[in-house]
A = this chain, B = another copy of it.
Amino acid sequence: MYILDDIEVRAREELFINIHPIQPGGRLTPEAMKALIAYGDGYSTCDWCRKPFRLDKIKRPPIDEFHAELAEFVGMDEARVVPGARRGFQAVVSSIVRPGGSVIVSSLAHYTEFLAVEDAGAIVREVPLNQSNIVTAEATAEKVEEVRKETGRLPALIMIDHFDYMFGNEHDVRGIAKVAKEYGIPFLCNCAYSLGVMPINGKEIGADFIVGSGHKSFASPAPSGIVACTKEWADKVFRTTQMVGDVTRRKFGIKEVEMLGCTLMGGVLIAMMASFPAVKERVKRWDEEVRKSNYFVGEFLKIKGNKVLSEMPRKHTLTKVDTTESFDVVARRHKRRGFFLSDELKERRIVGEFAGATKTWKLNTYGLTWRQVKYLAEAFQDIARKYGIPVG
């Protein structure tokens, strides 16, 4: 089935149980899909754009209200939508980090944080993990001291992931916020894996900046994201242009430099808005999602040789597992190698594992029903039994 030439129809979410590590939180709601269809045309949000001519001021559809509610939802004073969390990192780093400066990041920092820092001409300084692969407040404080000792200056920013992309572990962002406050260093909490799936309150965390991802955790199309901050930082990160044309004397006073003016024109934004009511409801059910995650992991660990590399019990639906001593043993003697597992899963209408990987890999149970989670767990056990791996 092809849309056109070599672009195939995508129906993974409709036809399969998808355990892809980064896809489940960005699956659209039916409302978002309707919005995408109605607002698909390029500049569809500009129909009722009036003075002062900026996306987040548009009243019809109520983009201005959405921005106000979004700030409230994340517990911050100001919020903007951006084309992905990475653009949020870039906007903050570009605003407050000078070339040659240092930014404290996690040893599990996402690569886009590295790039944002590099783009600003600064360098990353990683906080080491503890034995459970957690970034602690103590380790962060030590790193700050290390940077101060080595460079004679405090780091310009502390940017730590609430939950990381590798293990889905929760890091001590509240403790780290306190450390940041003690040193007077601004703190960006990267909530790409949490904002939109669980309740997030930036002020309660103690963050100066909250960044989230629409396509990762907010049931929204790509590229979409959120950057929010306290009012203390709004004038800096959302500063408006000061540039004046030397010939025309033109000024574009209302446009925000780091946002490059308007950000998410069109269907992507309206889809985010359409998903918002469902997102507000679903974050209240996060505990249930975590229970399903732990149920799955418990069943998965009954397969002899299976390990979980993420912290236990699970606090997230994204989990890194190690099947080196179970499925990989099978793979080593199977003619399809590691793809045997993908074949077996696909036969059971499960997709989203990293095809061919049977050593360490990631999966995400977010949004599966109890029936699906149970089916998923049974499917792995069934495959194990089929290849003679004991299930206890």
A residues neighboring B (CB under 8 Å): 3-13, 20, 22-23, 25-28, 31-47, 60-62, 65, 83-84, 86-87, 90, 94, 107, 109, 111-112, 114-119, 123-128, 214-216, 219-224, 241-243, 245-248, 250, 252, 255, 257-258, 260-261, 263-268, 270-271, 273-274, 277, 351
Q: Is the CB of B257 within 8 A of A7?
A: no
> Max chain B CB contacts within 10 Å: which of A3, A33, A247?
A3
Q: Is the CB of B255 within 8 A of A215?
A: no
A234 CB to nearest chain B CB (Å): 17
Given A112-B261, A126-B248, A223-B266, are A7 and B35 neighbors across the interface (CB < 8 Å)?
yes
- Residues of B with C-beta under 8 A to A42: 23, 25-28, 214-216, 219-222, 224
- Residues of B with C-beta under 8 A to A123: 243, 246
Q: Is the CB of B119 within 8 A of A258?
A: yes
Q: Is the CB of A126 within 8 A of B247?
A: yes
- Residues of B with C-beta under 8 A to A351: 47
19 CB contacts below 8 A, A to B, read: A7-B35, A7-B62, A7-B270, A8-B61, A22-B46, A23-B44, A40-B221, A43-B215, A47-B351, A86-B261, A112-B261, A115-B241, A119-B258, A123-B246, A126-B247, A128-B247, A215-B266, A222-B264, A222-B266
Q: Is the CB of A46 within 8 A of B62?
A: no
How many copies, total? 2
- Closest B residue to A274 by beta carbon equals B4
Q: Is the CB of A265 within 8 A of B222?
A: yes
Q: Is the CB of B245 within 8 A of A107?
A: yes
Q: Is the CB of B83 within 8 A of A87?
A: yes
- Residues of B with C-beta under 8 A to A264: 222-223
Q: Is the CB of A7 within 8 A of B274?
A: yes
Q: Across chains A and B, which 3 residue pairs bring their CB atoms closest together, nearest first? A: A26-B42, A42-B215, A222-B266
Whole-angstrom distance between the alpha carbons of A146 and B3 in the complex?
54
Q: Is the CB of B27 within 8 A of A10?
A: no
